[in-house]
């Protein structure tokens, strides 16, 4: 029976059922009559393949966030690392502290896998469909989307985990989730869109890749500062220097992100239609507002720390004069 089916329907043969060939079926329309492959064809195959696994990958990465928080940053482990700095926190703050430990670890994992494609493709002369290393089947686009999905999975996890998440951060996280799902839906329709639409889509991907890159940097920085503040509340001048460095780096990074995205939108205005260009611009404004809010909170914490330190120094100086 199997032989009859395979003879009647050649597409059911084992070789035809290979996933790469399945993804490529719709993309073959992009080939010229005498071509067996082309950059447009390879990009189309890569995009349609990615569109099929973004959803499952997001779910897997959310489970990774749960696993890391529950088993690598359990209360017993954090008590052994931070001691009284952790046990003295309220149950709510301990819960937050565990999340803030998970965040920089996973962002550190994601950062190189988004940074390399940016420098090789967006700022270099490689293609998204080129191999990430050697002759592997993993492409730069696979690497970029996987790291992006991990970062957005962290956003999804925080939406569920943090019961007191501020509305602005809720909008930010929901926006990133909708953006990822929109990417997957559009990627699956690439074979129907044609070469021009696909080139526009890839230009949009160039711009959006910087969101994840800068988000990783800012995510690592802000969470590390939070951890240092909670684990050494009386850090003195050393903590003051940490705050100053963090404020400088974070301010420069969020400014550079906005300038980079809007500059790329400007220079690609002849390629990108107004609809996706305006959508990216609005999302960038939302993301910038969120990061400015985080930046202002960091500055406020720094000012409180300086006032507390100054008060302690004046009190100590007054006590010494009284003894004299």
The model's pLDDT over 137-153, given as tens digits with 9 standing for 90+, comes to: 788 888 888 999 999 99
Average pLDDT of 221-246? 81
Do 211 and 237 share a domain, yes or no?
A: yes
Provide the residue range defining the domain that includes 177: 50-300
User: Does residue 109 fall inside a structural domain?
Assistant: yes
Average predicted confidence (pLDDT) for the chain = 81
Count: domains in the chain: 2
Please indicate, yes or no, whether residues 217 and 268 belong to a single structural domain of this protein. Answer: yes
In the predicted model, is pLDDT for residue 110 greater than 60?
yes
Phi-psi sector, 166: left (phi>0), alpha (psi -120 to 50), beta: beta
Token readout for 182 is 């929109």
The rounded percent of the chain whose pLDDT value lies above 90 is 23
Residues 190 and 89 in one domain: yes
For 205-217, what is each residue's pLDDT tens digit?
888 889 889 989 9
Q: Is the pLDDT of residue 97 over 60?
A: yes
Cβ atoms within 10 Å of 167's Cβ, excluding its own: 7
| Position 35 in a domain | yes
**pTM for the whole structure:** 0.81
Residue at 7 is within a domain: no
Same domain, 35 and 66: no
CA–CA dist 219, 104 (Å, integer): 6
- DSSP secondary structure string, 73-109? S-HHHHHHHHTHHHHTS-HHHHHHHHHHHHHHHHHHH
The reply to whether 36 and 94 lie within a common domain is: no
CA contacts within 13 A on the Cβ side of 320: 6
**Residues 37 and 31: beta-carbon distance below 8 Å:** yes
Q: Confidence class of residue 19 from pLDDT cuts 50, 70 and 90?
A: low
- The model's pLDDT over 41-96, given as tens digits with 9 standing for 90+, comes to 777 877 787 778 888 899 999 999 999 999 999 999 999 988 888 898 888 889 99
Same domain, 38 and 56: no
Claim to verify: residue 163 and residue 139 sit in the same structural domain: yes
- Does 116 lie in the same domain as 254? yes
Q: Where are the alpha helices (DSSP H) in 162-235?
A: 167-188, 190-193, 195-231
Residue 70 has what DSSP assignment? I
The answer to whether residue 310 scores a pLDDT higher than 80 is no
* pLDDT-derived band at 10, boundaries 50, 70, 90: very low
Residue 15, pLDDT > 60, answer no
Tell me the percentage of the chain whose pLDDT exceeds 70. Answer: 84
Backbone angles phi, psi at 139, to 5 degrees: -100, 170
Q: Report the DSSP beta bridge partners of residue 139.
A: 131
- Asked, for residue 311, whether it belongs to a domain, the answer is no
For 40-55, how does the pLDDT look when each residue is reduced to its tens digit (9 = 90+)?
777 787 778 777 888 8
| Position 316 in a domain | no
Which pLDDT score is estimated for 112? 92
Question: Which one is predicted more confidently, 178 or 198?
Answer: 178
The answer to whether 52 and 188 are in contact (CB under 8 A) is yes
Length of the chain: 324
If DSSP codes are grouped into helix, strand and coil, which group holds residue 262?
helix
């Amino acid at each position: 029976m199997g032989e009859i089916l395979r003879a009647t329907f050649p597409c059911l043969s084992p070789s035809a059922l290979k996933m790469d060939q399945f993804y490529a079926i719709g993309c073959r329309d992009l080939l010229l009559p005498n071509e067996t492959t082309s950059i447009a064809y390879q990009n189309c195959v890569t995009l349609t393949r990615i569109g099929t696994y973004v959803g499952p990958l997001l779910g897997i990465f959310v489970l990774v966030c749960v696993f890391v928080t529950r088993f690598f940053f359990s209360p017993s482990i954090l008590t052994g690392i931070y001691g009284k700095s952790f046990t003295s926190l309220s149950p709510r703050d301990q819960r937050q502290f565990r999340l803030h430990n998970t965040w920089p670890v996973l962002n550190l994992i994601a950062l190189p896998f988004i940074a390399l494609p940016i420098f090789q493709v967006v700022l270099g002369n490689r293609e998204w469909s080129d191999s990430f290393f050697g002759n592997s089947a993993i492409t730069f686009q696979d690497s970029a989307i996987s790291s992006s999905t991990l970062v957005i999975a962290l956003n999804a996890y925080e939406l569920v985990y943090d019961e007191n998440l501020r509305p602005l951060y809720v909008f930010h996280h929901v926006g990133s989730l909708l953006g990822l799902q929109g990417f997957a839906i559009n990627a699956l329709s690439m074979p129907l869109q044609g070469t021009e639409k696909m080139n526009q889509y890839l230009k949009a991907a160039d711009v959006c890749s910087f969101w994840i890159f800068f988000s990783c940097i800012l995510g690592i920085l802000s969470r590390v500062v939070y951890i240092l503040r909670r684990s050494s509340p009386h850090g003195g001048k050393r903590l003051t220097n940490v705050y100053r460095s963090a404020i400088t780096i974070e301010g420069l990074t969020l400014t550079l992100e906005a300038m980079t995205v809007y500059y790329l939108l400007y220079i690609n205005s002849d390629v990108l239609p107004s609809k996706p260009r305006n959508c990216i611009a609005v999302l960038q404004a939302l993301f910038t507002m969120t990061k400015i809010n985080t930046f202002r909170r960091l500055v406020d914490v720094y000012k409180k720390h300086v006032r507390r330190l100054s008060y302690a120094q004046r009190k100590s100086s007054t006590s010494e004069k009284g003894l004299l």
